[in-house]
Amino acid sequence: MIRRTNTEFLRIEEDLVELFECLLAEMPPNAASLEVRRVGRNKEGLQATLIPGNTRAASLWVHAEKGVGLVDLGFGDWNNAWELPIEGRNPKAGKVELLQEVRELCKAVIAGKCRYERGFLSRTATIGVEGGPPYRVTDIPVFRTRPHLRGIRCYEPYTS
């Protein structure tokens, strides 16, 4: 993993929590809840998770560490994740551009524009954002999935 340490990213954890709080505030009451916790062996990172009220919608999480210019983003029942900005549209993005890309991906997941697909020894996560090709990340080899995944798992929006 490439680590980009930069003073620009010293508040990245707080910025991501603020972003998730804004996303939550834009939804109707009880559409989702927010869970924030410290993670890592020495609690060096922060994970924020949006948990939808609709059980057929995908949960959404981000992980970051202070001073590191990388954000992991994932959704749903499995653990495929994008390492942004490297696996995003602008690999050299600064903090403002990175947070905007995270927001666009989050809005797409909240709108139900995401899915997982099981392939031969693989699992592909897809998020469809407006104005561009879908984001895809594939984990290989994947021998078994827990919970079980057969074919395609499409998620619903947080709200109707």
pLDDT, tens digit (0-9, with 9 covering 90-100), for 33-73: 999 999 988 888 999 999 999 999 999 999 999 989 999 99
Three-state SS at 9: helix
Tokens of 104: 């666009």
pLDDT at 5: 53
Backbone φ/ψ region at 77: left (φ over 0), alpha (ψ -120 to 50), beta:
alpha
Encode pLDDT of 65-107 as tens digits: 998 999 999 999 988 999 999 999 999 999 999 999 999 999 9
Query: Which pair of tokens denotes residue 150?
Result: 């057969």
Q: Is 124 exposed, middle or buried (0-12, 13-18, 19+ CB in 10 A)?
A: middle
Domain ranges of the chain: 7-154
- The sign one gets for the Cα dihedral 87, 93, 99, 100 is negative
Q: What is the mean pLDDT of residues 13-22?
A: 96
